[in-house]
Amino acid sequence: MRIDVGSARRWVTDLLLRSGMASGPAGRTATAIVLAECWGITSHGLLRVPSYLRRLEAGGYDPDARLTTVRDTGPVVVLDGHGGLGHWQVWEAAETAAERAARFGLAAVAVSDSGHCGALGVATLPALDRGLLAVVLSHGPAAMPAWEGDRPVVSTSPIAVGVPCRPRPAIVDLSTSAVARGTVAEHASRDEPLADGWAFAADGTPTTDPHQALAGMLAPLGGAKGFALAFAVEALTAGLVGPRLSADVPDPFDPARAGEPQQVGHLLLTLDPAQLAGDGEAAVQRRLDELAARTTASGGRVPGAGRRLPHEIADDDELIVATTTWDALQASAGHLGVSAGVGGT
């Protein structure tokens, strides 16, 4: 199915509004979801909306949640998400981190008791807009075992890094598992097998069945080193920010647990190259630009540099939505009494 960007954004906003969210958070969440779709990160785009709506209705996400300040030292800010959906909360945290880093040289902003926040790369944009470098970390339900372990103990432990190189910024956005869990959910929605080496069934045996993988475990990226990196992300998010470790976070794809709060933690670190440079802002920018240029000259590509920035995306640009995702969205719209498939063809 085809739908234009503006219609998709308005449709998701309407669905979230009908689910009880205020206009500001609903609009910001819809913008993040549709931007992920535009970037080709469909595992964290429209595919996720029905599960978010189900959790909002069941009480797993509080539609009335507000983001409140627990502690503010200037460069360090701790926020409480009060069980809300994470997209808009992480965006506001990213804006705060960018503003504080511009003042202090660096900033750390934590969001506790939040929910799934979508594609982390989206949250690097407030920093990149100011010429700052951003690191965004999060976690979710446990999906990955320790190396040689027999049960999931950490999430996919995603990481995003935004680097203000020119002519286009780099946006690194990846999970520390061999594959993102949303990608497994995409395969499950289409009953498509996974690649070998991506996942394990609940009993620890390798599987290419996406349904078994969702109920089982994902392989760490790069073996033991991948798990070590995932462990570090878990420590910085679930451990440091909290309030739950990933093994205690309910699965957003499990309808039976839709009413349980996720209570995940996010951590955003933002750095101002101008204030951290030993040899001056111009020298730092020259090195970052040269890093990007050498990457391209070698025949490689700068991570995320091909992704269109928000100002480069027009409302009438077209999105192609998988039939299974479209049908699930239509069903959600019908359930909520929202006009279904506006702009779809």
- SS3 string, 102-126, reads HHHCEEEEEEEEECCCCCHHHHHHH
The verdict on whether omega for the bond into residue 25 sits within 30 degrees of 0, i.e. cis, is no
Alpha-helical (H) ranges within 136-255 are 181-190, 210-215, 224-234
C-alpha 329/C-alpha 37 separation (Å) is 14
Which residues fall within 8 angstroms of residue 154, CB to CB, at 6 or more apart?
139, 142, 143, 144, 146, 227, 230, 231, 233, 234, 246
- Please provide the size of the chain in residues: 345
Model pLDDT, residue 342: 54
- For residue 187, the tally of other CB atoms under 10 A from its CB is 23
Token representation of residue 325: 């995702």
- pLDDT, one tens digit per residue, over 101-136 is 999 999 999 999 999 999 999 999 999 999 999 999
DSSP string across 129-149 = HTT-EEEEE---S--EEPTT-
Per-residue pLDDT of the chain (345 residues; tens, 9 = 90+): 999 999 999 999 999 999 999 999 999 999 999 999 999 999 999 999 999 999 999 999 999 999 999 999 999 999 999 999 999 999 999 999 999 999 999 999 999 999 999 999 999 999 999 999 999 999 999 999 998 888 999 999 999 999 999 999 999 999 998 888 878 888 888 899 999 988 888 888 889 999 998 888 888 888 899 999 999 999 999 999 999 999 999 998 899 999 999 999 999 999 999 999 889 999 999 999 999 999 999 999 999 999 999 999 999 999 999 999 999 999 999 999 998 765 445
Beta pairing partners, 98? none
C-alpha 175/C-alpha 218 separation (Å) is 11
C-alpha 95/C-alpha 271 separation (Å) is 13
pTM score of the predicted model:
0.92
Handedness of CA 190, 249, 134, 291 (dihedral sign): negative
